[in-house]
Amino acid sequence: MPFDVDGPVTTVPVAAVRPGRSPRRAGENPEHVRVLADAPDELPPIIVRRADMRVVDGMHRLRAAGLRGETRIAVRFFEGGEDEAFVLGVRANVTHGLPLSLADRKAAAERIVTSHAHWSDRMIAKTSGLSAATVARLRRAHPELTPDTRVGHDGKVRPVNGMERRRVARAIMLAEPTLSLREVAKRAGISPETARSVRRRLPQEPAPPPPREDLVRQLRADPTLRFSETGRTLLRLLEVRALPPEKWAAIAANMPAHWRDVMGRVAMECADTWRTFADQLAAGPRTQTG
């Protein structure tokens, strides 16, 4: 991931450091500031953009240092621009410290979509702590920012092909069936004629797949899975995943408020793991090898 800060730690006057553009729209949490101020340990270094001495990551620690009456604070300097500083601040607040709320993460991702339109959905998702599907939905609001290529989390540049834009158009039509072709074309970044072609195909979509419970039942009945170690591992994982929607809803409804954001991040990481597994299946051989 770009924008890492590996420079040496130094100290600067607390009064010289200025607040930065935080991804926390409500500002700092006073209770968290007090917890940090009362802790016996030395505060970890904050990250400061050298060009303007604005905080990139560490506003709670800066406020805590002020409460402690400290006149100097440990910092690491960041040399990039404002947009890069914001990205680094978001990534830092997603991976440690007081978690960002879902609303804050979505607002941050929307800004990154506009400032780093050349980044892939998954790259922005990894930075902001969201799913790639959520980022894709946010990106649809900015069809004018659709480049011909995108940079993935692995650093590789990949083309944004017409098929992807057709999928976007199809999703828009399904979500808003009364929308005009011209508006669909504008949002998806395609021509009205292409949008018309996508709409003509909608009635010809294949029937929905069997319910997941039926598929899991078929997998359990297959001896090639039941009698292999990897197959049994997969079936055990699917037993958990096969909970009905009302069970998941009950679990979510009873989740303690102070664990909701953390559990949401864990769930998204699990979703990313299954998505990677799906990609590996799609890339693997379609026939058995002897």
DSSP readout, 47-97?
EEETTTTEEEE-HHHHHHHHHHT-SEEEEEEE-S-HHHHHHHHHHHHHHSS
Do the Cβ atoms of 79 and 5 come closer than 8 Å?
no
Query: Is residue 164 included in any domain, yes or no?
Result: no
Query: Is residue 71 included in any domain, yes or no?
Result: yes
pLDDT band at 290 (very low <50, low <70, confident <90, very high): very low
State which of 60, 95, 130 marks the end of a domain: 95
Out of 16-20, 92-96, 152-156, 204-208, pick the least confident. 204-208
Higher local confidence (pLDDT), 217 or 48: 48
Count Cβ atoms below 10 Å from residue 80 Cβ, excluding itself: 17
Q: What pLDDT sits at residue 45?
A: 93
Q: What pLDDT sits at residue 152?
A: 61
Q: Which residues pair with 18 in a beta bridge?
A: 54
**pLDDT of residue 207 exceeding 60:** no
Query: Is residue 259 included in any domain, yes or no?
Result: no
Mean pLDDT of the chain: 83
CATH number, domain containing residue 15: 3.90.1530
**pLDDT of residue 187 exceeding 80:** yes
Query: Is residue 37 included in any domain, yes or no?
Result: yes
Host domain of residue 218: 210-239
Alpha helices in the chain (DSSP H): 30-38, 59-68, 82-95, 102-115, 121-128, 132-139, 162-175, 181-188, 192-201, 212-221, 223-226, 229-241, 245-253, 260-283
Question: Token pair 């799609």 is at which residue?
Answer: 282
Phi and psi, residue 159, nearest 5°: -70, 145
Q: What pLDDT sits at residue 13?
A: 96
pLDDT band at 64 (very low <50, low <70, confident <90, very high): very high
Q: How many domains does the chain have?
A: 2
Higher local confidence (pLDDT), 41 or 96: 41
* Angle between the N-to-C axes of helices 102-115 and 132-139, in degrees from 0 to 180, rounded to the nearest 10: 60
pTM: 0.49
Query: Is residue 122 included in any domain, yes or no?
Result: no
Query: Is residue 228 included in any domain, yes or no?
Result: yes
**pLDDT of residue 59 exceeding 90:** yes
